[in-house]
Structure 1
């Protein structure tokens, strides 16, 4: 079905024009979607997770908020395709269930795009921040995220959701899931990295425990206090280590027990060096949480242990597709709480208080999403 046979849906979304507005005062407004291109799809949004990148954007952390009509974010989208252009990617058809993550487009011309690693493109278009499209009829149009009724964008970034996966549970995988799946997959959790540590048991950390366990790794959950121990063990961790304030002393007591650490915590200053004793020779410390202050690490421990410190940037469409298939095949089920999208302001207030255990999912009940 092409654009010639499908009427335009009503595009409207929940947004803010002022950083003070996001916390309890977001409003629903109509918006103009990007100009149609023949590789685009329209998606009726059923579910959309809430992620800290969304709230950071609404706070103004990524720059001024859009005022035409408002900053509409949301980048953990699952919905149903309602319109397909003449040149769809992924074999998409009307009625198909798809997921859309942080990225809604890339330039398509650079070497990283040609290598199908679009998450490294230097001209990305995002769903967690209203940013311009750079190509086709839509060049100059602003992106809109998933706190909305409908999403329009290039079909390359709309990933089919496997039939065995709960659609609501798939939503937070589109960012929270792929953020940790990528480094776990890249560094060989369960194969090369038999023993994996997860630092920080929050929204990302809970996904990391679930995926690392499903990959066959022995998982050690690492947190400052004992408060998340019961949850971490239920999620699949074999061991729980509460470091307290003396991380280095705790790490030395567990010296050489881990092949890989995925750090999901994002404190003001990340004390990477204090975690290094956990690692065996040739171990890797990979971080996905962004700490404001620079990371300072002396070269000695890295050289002596042949250790590596790495970051990880979400994942490309192909990586998201692999993650969704893996989650369906291994019955990975995130811990979520659903909120009616019409109560987005209540959800934001609760999110801001740190209530989620461990991901919030907005449900578009008006579109047929199920609470």
Structure 2
């Protein structure tokens, strides 16, 4: 074991503050990583505040991790000291269920071991839970470590490990590409990555937003068209147009107004996580054999493919860098949608001791 410094919440209403905790020693199949940057995901806030069920405390969030390899175990051959690497939402899975064997560890039948706030079978203290990337270092099984292209800005690459793969996975699974008309609903941390990916994949991309102030930004990011979704006539004009719609909105909203925009056999996929259950009208689905689906992050192989694609096309997230002592204020700003489009923590700002 070794002592690590991080930032944690001690309960659901406490602000994040410095903490020391124990990391496991680097085992034969492990990679020890010195963390340089960590993205701030809205799910960090939900988890810290026990909004998705009771969390384990202290809670050290962070699953958009970029760093350099500090040490490798004796059985590790894919990485060496100094490599630029990333860790996303998972650090383990059962490895033998049908999903894991298909490279879809995010759908593990036994549930993955999430990067933070998850029961940890290899914790240095028995019965402990995982601690995430708001910390100086992390030790991860090499299967769940990802190689990050050196040509990418490492800070701006951090959100690729969650926001990136969350939007890439459905686009890849439904084989979005040239000739497809694609709609992206919402321009936030997820939506802005979806626009970049869909454009780079060769699709004709239309952004749907409730905010007229985001029209120019949507075009800057590559959207070919921008539609204000509060404009009923503008929405009516889009009926039966799209092959694929990716809904990246986590706020409560009516999905039915988008289902009617799909062509026959079109697909709409949800990646946002609204708090309240949705009401879906079946006539919009049945009438044109449309489908409504959901998608969660991506498997390790798929995430590596996404990172390689980003390296080839020089795709990263639009970020605002913060010091770790600004994290509580950053959470408040995330809740106000006051960031374009992802906060990333410079972990060099982490204090030497808690």
Query: TM-score interval w.r.t. the shorter chain?
Result: over 0.9
In 2, are the aligned partners of 1:35 and 1:138 still within 8 Å (CA)?
Answer: no
Partners of 1:346 and 1:259 lie apart in 2 by: 40
Say if 1:33 and 1:141, in contact at 8 Å, map to a contact too.
no
Q: Quick one: which of 20, 35, 49 aligns to 1:59?
A: 49
With normalisation by structure 1, the TM-score equals: 0.88
Aligned residue number for residue 290 of structure 1: 273
Matched-pair contact (CA < 8 Å) for 2:25–2:139: no
For 1:265, which of 225, 245, 249 is the aligned residue? 249
Does the residue aligned with 1:305 lie in a helix, a strand or coil? coil
1:143 corresponds to which of 114, 130, 137: 130
Secondary structure of the structure 2 residue equivalent to 1:42: strand
SS in 2 for 1:184: helix
Instruction: Find the counterpart in structure 1 of residue 217 from structure 2.
Output: 231
Aligned-pair CA distance for 1:114: 1.7
**Alpha-carbon offset, residue 166 of structure 1:** 1.3
- Unmatched segments (≥5 aa) in structure 2: none
1:125 paired with 2:143, answer: no
Structure-2 change in CA distance of 1:63 and 1:38 (3 Å): farther
The more displaced of 56-65 and 129-138 is 129-138
Residue 308 in structure 1 maps to residue 291 in structure 2: yes
In 1: Cα distance, 2:316 partner to 2:255 partner: 30
Contact 1:33–1:143 (8 Å) recurs in 2: no
User: Alpha carbon RMSD of aligned pairs, Å?
Assistant: 2.1
Measure how far apart 1:102 and its partner are: 1.0
What is the SS of the residue equivalent to 2:251?
coil
Further displaced range: 96-105 or 140-149:
140-149
Per-residue deviation, residues 108-131 of structure 1 (Å, max 9, x unmatched):
22221122211111331112x411
Q: Is the 8 A contact 1:76 1:146 kept in 2?
A: yes
Contact map agreement 2:227 2:235 (CA 8 A) in 1: no
Contact in 1 for aligned 2:23/2:124 (Cα 8 Å): no
TM superposition score normalised by structure 2: 0.92
Alignment check: 8 A CA contact 1:107 1:134 kept: no
| Larger displacement relative to structure 2 (345-354 or 195-204) | 345-354
Give the SS at the match of 2:130.
coil
Confirm or deny that 1:344 pairs with 2:331: no
**Structure 1 residue ranges without an equivalent (≥5):** 1-7
CA 1:148–1:118: 2 relative to 1, 3 Å: same
Q: Deviations over 1:12-39 (max 9, x none)?
A: 1100112222xxx321111112465321
Is 1:183 the counterpart of 2:170 in the alignment? yes
